[in-house]
Amino acid sequence: MLATTPIPTPIKEPSIFEIEKPFTSKPFHVAPPLPSPQENLDVRSYKHLQSLIKQALKEVYVDVDTWEKVLTEVALEIAQDVPYALEIIGRPSSNGMADDGIASLHHVIKVTTEPVGMPQESRYLPGPAEGEIPPEVVAIEPNLLELGGTVVLKGTAKDLPKIEKVMELVVFVVCHLKLEMYLFRDHFAVRPESAEANAVHRSPPPPRRVGRSLWNWIRGENRSGHGSNPRSASPEGVVDGSNRFDRAIRQIEKTIISASPDVIFPPPHLLLRLRDEEVNLYPVRMLDQDGRRISYGPDDVDFPAGSGSGKFNSWGSNSPGRRYSSASTKSTSSRTSHISVDSKAGLGYLMTNNNSISGVMRHQSVTFAYSYYFSGSNIPCRPPEILTIEYYQKLGQHFQDRSLGQFVELLCNKAKGLCPDAMCGKPMGQHVITYTHNHGRISVSVREAPQRLGSPPEPEQIYMWTGCRECESTTDIVPMSTGTWYYSFAKYLELLYYNPYFVCGTVCSHINTRENVRRFFRLRNEIVVFEYDHIDLFEMRVPKIQVSPDYYFDEASDDAEYGADDDLEPFGVDGHAILEQTRGEVTAFYNSVKEYMQGLAFATGSALVAQNEGSAEQVQCQIMLDELGKTFEQDEQQLREELKAKKVAEVNNVRRELLAKMKETVKKLVEWQKLHAPGHKEQPEWSLPDYCSIPGHKPKAGHIYPNSFVIVREDEPTSIIAFTLSSKKYIQHIRDQRQYPLGVDPESPPPIPQWENVGGDCDVKMKVFSHEQTPGGPKQHIKYKFRQGKHNFSCTVYYAAQFDGLRRKCGMSAMYVRSLMRCAQWDASGGKSRAGFFKTCDDQLVVKQLASKWTNQEKAALMKFAPAYFEYMNNSDKNPTILVKIFGFYTLKHKNLQTGTVKKLDVLVMEHLFANVNISRKFDLKGVPDRHIVSKKDGENDVMWDGDWVDGRYKQLLRLHAHSKKIIAESVWNDTQFLSDANVMDYSLLVGVNDDKKELVVGIVDFIGPYTWYKILETRAKTTLNAALKGGKDVTVLPPDQYRDRFRKAMEQNFLMVPDKWIKVPGLEQGISTKKLPSVL
């Protein structure tokens, strides 16, 4: 890793040698077993059960009051039977079978229905039904007659099928809650007393139609007729209920999906971000400090690209706003309701229908990234694997659950076994197992107990206690109860992730947060340790400029965009600012003139005339200076008046006149000084604009053409493009191409390119042409020439109408010319090519100069690629893409007739992926793991490669939210397929790490490299060389289909996803409505 490259601060890895500290100060003294809970359910569990029953009953549209009381009473009877069942079942042997071969005993409670009688006649019958267990089995295990039970539900045939499903959920929850009481007792954890501590005491959700999904909330639909509270509990005091994502979040927050009280699931990160972005998008009503509503207007809102606004977006730069006609306002409103395609892809990972019965059942599981590694090494022996465990499910199709006791026994029994990884081979007891989920990572380690702790009283008994990671405080050591032994291991993980009250605050002041808690379990001579660490997750941000659907683009707003000639706002240019800047230039110059004239007055002694002193010669000098001053004052006033009268689009006319007056003024003063003050040696400090060039001063490479607002600068090639695209001839031609597919009016004769004088020594000429490869094809390209004095310029705009359409669909037309007006050379280090780069001064666009020896074959390949690119971009509103968009392809030429020098550039104009984003590290990933950057001397701007990504463990440190992984996976798949079909390879994924916002900004770049004969030869030569070297580096250049496959595989491995509670699990959603919940005991 480069010494100059900052790397993220790694999470402190738990070490097996650290767990001894919390119990070294005292011997292994075991406290007496804790008494069993006396009540059926504690208060918190009872209230949670009641709220869950109410929610479920409202979902199935039955008499809530009647059935709630019935189901609650039945549930309490079931809870009362659990301790007795635990006593009979006991703990099975380690292999899960009794000594005589009979399967372990189970306490299974069945639900039956009888469509007769009243609901109040429903009852719970303990024990198996008569004849259910064969006599020969009873003879072997008579305790079977004491286990299990049946719930008999009575009522109408219409209600009973619905109630049966609810009762199955109630049986699962109440048995689980009973075991959880044992768990909390053994851990010395205390449930909160305040009613506000848990979400179950929020208002239950309103009745709704069965099957209504999260998408209904996001779209703002409300079919049930029960509206949302208009005073949304949005962040920052937002009270406007129109925020669709806020409605979805509030629905999630008040829905009970956990079988445990006090478990708080934060809403999906993507919904929170979209909610916040929508808050910033709309002029919402907010409250000030006094509780009064604050109204925000459109000028206070940052619109995203594609909205038709001059402002750029909520996480980029804020550019000056623009006015809208009524038509364009309509277009803006329609676009703001659009959900971007990448957000749609991310939303597709969310579970829906969470508060339905099947939704609650579906959430009785946990999905995590499972891995383990040797303690002291950061390289995993088992790479992270996404696993799902259904609570208490021993026979599920996913990773099977174990009880907490079984899990501890398994780890202890395998502690001395060797790691299956052939590169490791060390005992598993020296490894750390990690379960990573949402923002939490649970680390489980096993080690041998120190001899000084002594032996446990009963070697086959599991003992447990809780300690503090900050000090040596611990709870008493107690034997694990049978109830805790049977508690679901997967459910135990959920408590560690999401229950903030599952701590032991009575031990010390540190242990009231889960990060400071260590949980210990001892079996024989092994100790199992559970620890929780918070981890940061990164969100994947795609290129911010995206195509909006065609139906979000209003043609009326397009007319306004290319409206009156005197309005510069269609180009995103602040005309008022340009006028003010020009006035400032006028004032600054004439102020410098006044200062110089004052110096001349003192040098000649004419300043004494004001004091009624001085010679006749000095008086004459003063008179001449006064006359000059009046002339200059008149010139200044004339320029100011012209600025008031001129159209903003013609500000260059005033600039040209200002330059002429500057030259004339300076010439007069210099001549006057030579005649009347030859001894005055002080050099004048003229305040000149940066585009001004006057004799005796360093020339500025700027050219000012009449009837424009763009200054053409020789050292800023983008200004040539800006001048071309803002010219009236170009704009009129683009209008015609929109109206006529062939670009010209069929009733009008084709225009003949001729030079046209636009003022003074300035001429312009434009022609349209077809590419040389298709001479008879449509004339899609424009060559615009302009000349001034001894300087000739030309700008060839390839696929002018197509790129113009793409920019408009991306909401770029309002800022494109403005950005191109100024640029500077830019060091984009990291790539292999020697291409030159420029970046616009507003940081929005990047200009890449193509190789100076760009061949006709490569140019033809790009011309062939362009139509496919336009088609793909036009359809990108339907499928996510991370291509960094190309917005124009140009050939620029400047010829100096005086010196004979000619400069020619072929350039691509692209969006700047990292515009106005604080990026700490950059990576250029191609999928070749042994690529390493050769650092420059400073190393600060190095763009690192695949090998640096792997060596720096960025894959482990920069983990993604689940929805982000889905977005990049779909985008890479779509883009690589398109590029492969277009015969393109050698592209890269550019990654920027924004540590401030915990974001990875990504985009595919350098995707114009066709697989030409030169690339074929390069591939064959390097492949042959590597084969001869026997183990050389991977070949970067491959045929497009092979490059695509390697790229996809590498990007899949480079970005690790951490699941959360809302991720869709393949196979878990299908069939959930017909699947029964497992038996808890």
Residue-range domain boundaries for the chain: 206-253+269-347, 364-535, 574-694, 709-912, 920-1081
Highest-pLDDT range among 42-56, 132-146, 555-569, 1012-1026 = 42-56
The candidate with the shortest Cα–Cα distance to 1008, out of 888, 891, 875, 921, is 888
Q: What's the confidence (pLDDT) of residue 298?
A: 29
- Side-chain-side CA neighbours of residue 932 (13 Å): 11
Q: What's the confidence (pLDDT) of residue 260?
A: 94
Give 628-668 pLDDT, tens digit per residue. Answer: 999 999 999 999 999 888 888 889 999 999 999 999 999 99
Q: What's the confidence (pLDDT) of residue 803?
A: 94
Neighbours of 561 (CB within 10 A): 18
Rounded Cα distance between 211 and 223, Å, is: 11
HEC assignment per residue over 345-372? HHHCCECCCCCCHHHHHHCCEEEEEEEE
Neighbours of 161 (CB within 10 A): 11
Contact by Cβ (8 Å): 477, 29: yes
Give 603-616 pLDDT, tens digit per residue. Answer: 888 878 777 777 88
Flag whether pLDDT at 538 surpasses 60: yes
Flag whether pLDDT at 295 surpasses 80: no
Tell me which long-range contacts 1031-1035 makes (C-beta under 8 A, separation of at least 24): 1033/928, 1033/930, 1033/931, 1034/928, 1034/929, 1034/930
pLDDT band for position 211 (50/70/90)? very low
H or E segment and range at residue 601: helix 575-604
Write down the mean pLDDT value for the chain.
Answer: 78
Q: What does the DSSP assignment read for 515-562?
A: GGEEEEEEETTEEEEEEEEE---BEEE--S--PPPGGG--HHHHHHHT
H or E segment and range at residue 874: helix 856-874
Range with the lowest mean pLDDT among 205-214, 669-678, 1009-1018? 205-214
- Side-chain-side CA neighbours of residue 337 (13 Å): 11
Pairing of the two strands 823-826 and 791-797? unpaired
Rounded Cα distance between 115 and 161, Å, is: 10
Contact by Cβ (8 Å): 739, 730: no
Determine whether domain 709-912 maps to CATH 3.40.50.150. no
Flag whether pLDDT at 245 surpasses 70: yes
Range with the lowest mean pLDDT among 20-29, 224-233, 440-449, 777-786? 224-233
For the packed helices 728-739 and 800-809, what is the interaxial angle rounded to 10 degrees?
80
* C-alpha angle 254-260-266 in degrees, rounded to nearest 5: 45
What is the distance, to the nearest Å, from the Cα of residue 515 to the centroid of all Cα atoms in its chain?
27
Neighbours of 94 (CB within 10 A): 13
- Side-chain-side CA neighbours of residue 445 (13 Å): 23
**Dihedral (Cα; 741, 742, 745, 751), 10-degree rounding:** 150
Flag whether pLDDT at 521 surpasses 80: yes
Q: What's the confidence (pLDDT) of residue 814?
A: 75
Flag whether pLDDT at 196 surpasses 50: no
Q: What is the mean pLDDT of residues 1048-1056?
A: 90
**Which of 3.10.105.10, 3.10.310.10, 3.90.1010.10, 3.30.810.10 would CATH assign to domain 920-1081?**
3.30.810.10
Q: What's the confidence (pLDDT) of residue 485?
A: 94
Range with the lowest mean pLDDT among 203-212, 499-508, 790-799, 921-930? 203-212
Q: Which two tokens stand for residue 913?
A: 């992926």
Q: What's the confidence (pLDDT) of residue 26?
A: 58
Place of tokens 């492969």: 980
pLDDT band for position 885 (50/70/90)? very high
Rounded Cα distance between 990 and 980, Å, is: 18
* C-alpha angle 906-910-911 in degrees, rounded to nearest 5: 160
Strand partners, 521: 464, 528
